[in-house]
């Protein structure tokens, strides 16, 4: 696979240079020009390799390998979250330095998508004839609602089985349920006239601002800065499913105004977990709650909150805890959990492939993140992160190492061959 490495790296860099985060729709481009251009770049690569491709109205694309009656899906995405702040590299530069490819999407999910494409090319060049029709499906709205998958299900046929290269190795057997809610807390005698922060419900807020009376000493104690009379709080972004890996900029700002009883209530509900949401847990982990976007309007602080609840916990149990807040909330979106048996054919095969390629003896794991795997009747997320290594997904200075690209090429090639061969 080493002969494909340079081409894979070059293509990843090219893809990163498209800012494919969600932007205003244009005619024929439902998620904006960047996402459409990135999709067409990918499909052009595949066409030049001799694969059949299909662009479904710039919602989603498809690369087909083989013509078997049974189908197998590989689900990846080309859209990214916004760059956010704190970068020391160009987030859309797509450069290789220090053995790493830098840029938004390097790990989530352009790097793995392109590595999978070149793994398919390697198999094709070797004369491999899959017994199943392989569909490499490329979504453009994974980060903000899955409208791409909804569209695909309307215009094409989704296979029953497959994997998504968009999580962790060795393989994911379970994914928590994902519930995004809007929660509004009335603030009587609000000590601020403006309070805002956050960009996406699935990104830990890394910057928050407020206008109110300024106490420089108190602000400094809480790590806030003051510029032109505006209070600023700087945090660290992280994926909404792992809020502990970031630093939410909203909390210090709330603490600054915590002499107000209603603000204290917000802290108790959303950060101190006074109603026990985080006590919901099972073998797939404990519930996580991340209030990632905040606005102040009409006398209320309104939050967009990312909740990841354990795979075997019913949604009704989560709703019961939210009801205890005693304030209005609205469910924005929901994705049911994914749960597979660890010993099932798909999960065990993927785990065996990873262990063979690395010499390790690891077991399937569960995650809080949500992947396209749950769009399948039998799906599993498979790479590219490895536990114990630095996580930069949804954070500043996202990167993928060249060594990880090598591993992906090897692992994905072997997995596709094992799962779709005769």
How far apart, in whole angstroms, are the C-alpha atoms of residue 251 and residue 208?
9
Peptide bond into 109 cis (omega under 30): yes
The architecture CATH gives domain 177-335: 2-Layer Sandwich (3.30)
**Contact in structure between 337 and 372 (CB atoms under 8 Å):** no
Catalytic residue among 71, 142, 206, 255: 142
Would you state the pLDDT for residue 387? 85
How far apart, in whole angstroms, are the C-alpha atoms of residue 185 and residue 265?
8
**Contact in structure between 383 and 113 (CB atoms under 8 Å):** no
At 185, list the tokens.
């807390």
**Contact in structure between 172 and 373 (CB atoms under 8 Å):** yes
**Contact in structure between 301 and 267 (CB atoms under 8 Å):** no
**Pick from 165, 64, 166: nearest CA to 120:** 64
Instruction: Work out the mean pLDDT of the chain and round it to a whole number.
Output: 95
How far apart, in whole angstroms, are the C-alpha atoms of residue 217 and residue 235?
19
How far apart, in whole angstroms, are the C-alpha atoms of residue 46 and residue 52?
8
At 197, list the tokens.
């922060």
Reported as a single tens digit per residue, the pLDDT across 108-117 is 999 999 999 9
pLDDT at residue 85 is higher than 80: yes
Q: What is the mean pLDDT of residues 19-42?
A: 97
How far apart, in whole angstroms, are the C-alpha atoms of residue 33 and residue 25?
8
Annotation marks residue 142 as catalytic:
yes
Would you state the pLDDT for residue 155? 98
Radius of gyration of the chain, Cα coordinates, nearest whole angstrom: 22
Reported as a single tens digit per residue, the pLDDT across 365-378 is 988 878 999 999 99
Q: What percent of the chain has pLDDT over 90?
A: 90
**Contact in structure between 112 and 120 (CB atoms under 8 Å):** no
How far apart, in whole angstroms, are the C-alpha atoms of residue 16 and residue 205?
23
**Pick from 283, 414, 284: nearest CA to 355:** 414
Question: Where is pLDDT greater, at 200 or 37?
Answer: 37
The architecture CATH gives domain 2-175+338-420: 3-Layer(aba) Sandwich (3.40)
How far apart, in whole angstroms, are the C-alpha atoms of residue 167 and residue 370?
8
Tell me, letter by letter, the H, E, C secondary structure of 137-150: EEECCCCCCCHHHH
> 172: pLDDT confidence band, cut at 50, 70 and 90?
very high
Instruction: Report phi then psi at 104, rounded to 5.
Output: -65, 125
Q: How many CA atoms lie within 13 A of 344 on its CB side?
A: 16
pLDDT at residue 1 is higher than 70: no
At 166, list the tokens.
């968009």
Q: What is the mean pLDDT of residues 7-33?
A: 97
**Pick from 117, 108, 121, 118: nearest CA to 137:** 117
At 288, list the tokens.
């996580």
Would you state the pLDDT for residue 305? 97
| E strand residue ranges, 201-287 | 207-212, 225-227, 230-234, 281-282, 285-286
DSSP 247: B
> 173: pLDDT confidence band, cut at 50, 70 and 90?
very high
pLDDT at residue 68 is higher than 80: yes
pTM for the full predicted model: 0.80
**Contact in structure between 109 and 141 (CB atoms under 8 Å):** no
How far apart, in whole angstroms, are the C-alpha atoms of residue 305 and residue 179?
8
Reported as a single tens digit per residue, the pLDDT across 271-299 is 999 889 999 999 889 999 999 999 999 99
Would you state the pLDDT for residue 396? 92
Would you state the pLDDT for residue 144? 86
- Quote the Cα angle for 161-164-170, to 5°: 105
SS3 content of the chain, % helix, strand, coil (to 5): 30, 30, 40
> 416: pLDDT confidence band, cut at 50, 70 and 90?
very high
At 161, list the tokens.
């089985």
> 383: pLDDT confidence band, cut at 50, 70 and 90?
very high
Domain ranges of the chain: 2-175+338-420, 177-335
How far apart, in whole angstroms, are the C-alpha atoms of residue 275 and residue 168?
31
Would you state the pLDDT for residue 84? 87
At 384, list the tokens.
């590219």
pLDDT at residue 406 is higher than 90: yes
Q: What percent of the chain has pLDDT over 70?
A: 100
Annotation marks residue 306 as catalytic:
no
Pairing, β 207-212 against β 192-197: antiparallel
- Quote the Cα angle for 396-397-402, to 5°: 145
Catalytic residue among 62, 71, 79, 166: 79
Q: How many CA atoms lie within 13 A of 273 on its CB side?
A: 12
Q: What is the mean pLDDT of residues 94-109?
A: 97
Q: What is the mean pLDDT of residues 42-50?
A: 98
At 202, list the tokens.
């699935």
């Amino acid at each position: 696979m080493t002969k494909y490495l340079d081409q894979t790296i070059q293509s990843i860099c090219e893809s990163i240079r498209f800012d494919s985060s969600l932007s205003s729709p244009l005619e024929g481009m439902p998620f904006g020009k960047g996402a459409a251009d990135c999709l067409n770049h990918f499909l052009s690569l595949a066409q030049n390799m001799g694969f059949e491709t299909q662009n479904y109205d710039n919602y989603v694309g498809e690369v087909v390998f083989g013509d078997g009656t049974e189908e197998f899906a590989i689900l990846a995405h080309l859209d990214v979250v916004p760059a956010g702040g704190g970068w020391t590299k160009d987030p859309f530069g797509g450069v290789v330095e220090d053995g790493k490819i830098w840029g938004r999407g390097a790990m989530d999910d352009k790097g793995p998508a392109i590595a999978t494409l070149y793994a398919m090319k390697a198999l094709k060049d070797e004369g491999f004839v899959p017994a199943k029709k392989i569909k490499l499906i490329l979504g453009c709205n994974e980060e903000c609602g899955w409208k791409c998958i909804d569209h695909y299900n309307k215009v094409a046929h989704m296979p029953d089985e497959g994997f998504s290269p968009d999580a962790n190795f060795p393989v994911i057997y379970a994914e928590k349920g994902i519930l995004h809610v809007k929660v509004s807390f009335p603030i009587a005698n609000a000590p601020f006239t403006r309070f805002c922060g956050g960009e996406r419900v699935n990104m830990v807020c890394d910057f928050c601002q407020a206008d109110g009376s300024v106490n420089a000493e108190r602000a400094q104690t809480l790590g806030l800065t003051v510029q032109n009379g505006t209070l600023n709080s700087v945090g660290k972004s992280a994926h909404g499913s792992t809020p502990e890996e970031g630093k939410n900029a909203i909390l210090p700002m709330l603490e600054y105004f915590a002499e107000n009883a209603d603000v204290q209530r917000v802290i108790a509900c959303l950060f101190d977990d006074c109603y026990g949401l985080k006590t919901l847990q099972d073998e797939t982990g404990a519930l996580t709650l991340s209030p990632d976007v905040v606005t102040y309007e009409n006398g209320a602080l309104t939050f967009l909150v990312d909740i990841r609840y354990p795979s075997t916990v019913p949604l009704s149990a989560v709703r019961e805890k939210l009801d205890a807040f005693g304030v209005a909330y609205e469910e924005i979106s929901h994705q049911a959990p994914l749960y597979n048996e660890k010993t099932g054919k798909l999960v065990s095969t993927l785990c065996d492939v990873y262990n063979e390629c690395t010499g390790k003896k690891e077991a399937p794991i569960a995650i809080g993140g949500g992947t396209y795997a749950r769009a399948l009747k039998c799906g599993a997320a498979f790479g590219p992160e490895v536990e114990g290594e630095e996580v930069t997904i949804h954070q500043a200075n996202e990167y993928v190492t060249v060594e990880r690209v090598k591993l992906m090429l090897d692992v994905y090639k072997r997995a596709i061959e094992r799962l779709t061969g005769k």
